[in-house]
Amino acid sequence: MLHLKAVLNAAELAHARTALEGADWEDGRVTSGSLPESIKRNGQLPQQGPLAQHLQQLVLQALRRNQLFFSAALPRHIAPPMFSRYDGERQDYLDEHVDVAMRYLPDGGRVRTDLSCTLFLSNPEEYEGGELVLADSWRDEHVKLAAGDMLLYPADKVHRVNPVSKGCRYASFFWLESMVRDEAQRRLLFQMDRDLMLLRIEEQHASSTAVLGLTGAYHNLLRMWAQG
């Protein structure tokens, strides 16, 4: 689980918010799939609409420049981001569920859902309730991040969105398939890459033989484990 800060900059966030606040929302139940309709009450942006497609590009562009996201997720395919609205006046919610293993895309492609992403588009003080809750055998994680921040988490977790009792919660959510399917391998690569990034910004290490060698080892591990 990883908290990525300021994935969207202030200008992108303001732009997205203005667009979402003026949008036509459809009933989120259209994408319930095999789950009962009572599993959720929320609004979703029509996935094929021009506004959703415009905002998808905005989010994907922000992800492309995010080195930490790339290092942690090692994305192979990213499903088009979706957008949701939980309205406090309707006590919108999403009950506990698990996400499907495959997302089938309009163009016929498919994405194995290794990792889930929730990009918060409302600040915590704008609404009450609405925590993203990830169930865990030890203790549940309650997550409510600043607008523009994103949570990256394993897609196999039971999760829910608590009812919003006041205000309005906007978010983008989507799944991705990683080049490295195995979570333990992915975590090890991330740890190594992150530590190498730290060494490279320290002047006495930046161009050392050891850093060069470890960088080579990182890429050899990625070559060994990456698919596609």
**From 4-12, 35-43, 96-104, 105-113, span contacting Ni ion (CB under 5 A):** 96-104
Smallest gap from Cβ 205 to Ni ion, in A, equals 42
Among 12, 99, 126, 128, binds Ni ion (CB under 5 A): 99
Nearest to Ni ion of 147, 171 (CB atom) = 171
Nearest to Ni ion of 80, 193 (CB atom) = 80
Instruction: Tell me which H or E stretch contains 205.
Output: helix 203-206
Told to check if 95 binds Ni ion by CB under 5 A, we report no
Q: Spell out where the chain has E strands.
A: 2-4, 26-27, 40-41, 43-44, 75-78, 82-87, 93-97, 102-104, 110-112, 115-120, 127-129, 132-134, 141-143, 150-154, 159-161, 164-178
Nearest to Ni ion of 159, 186 (CB atom) = 159
Dihedral angle computed from the Cα positions of residues 71, 59, 97 and 126, in that order, rounded to the nearest 10 degrees? 110
The DSSP letter of residue 25 is P
Buried b (16+ CB within 10 A) or exposed e, 97-114: eebeeebeeeeeeebbbb
Nearest to Ni ion of 32, 215 (CB atom) = 32
Nearest to Ni ion of 15, 97 (CB atom) = 97
Smallest gap from Cβ 113 to Ni ion, in A, equals 9
Smallest gap from Cβ 198 to Ni ion, in A, equals 33
Q: How many residues bind Ni ion (CB under 5 A)?
A: 1
Binding site for Ni ion (CB under 5 A): 99
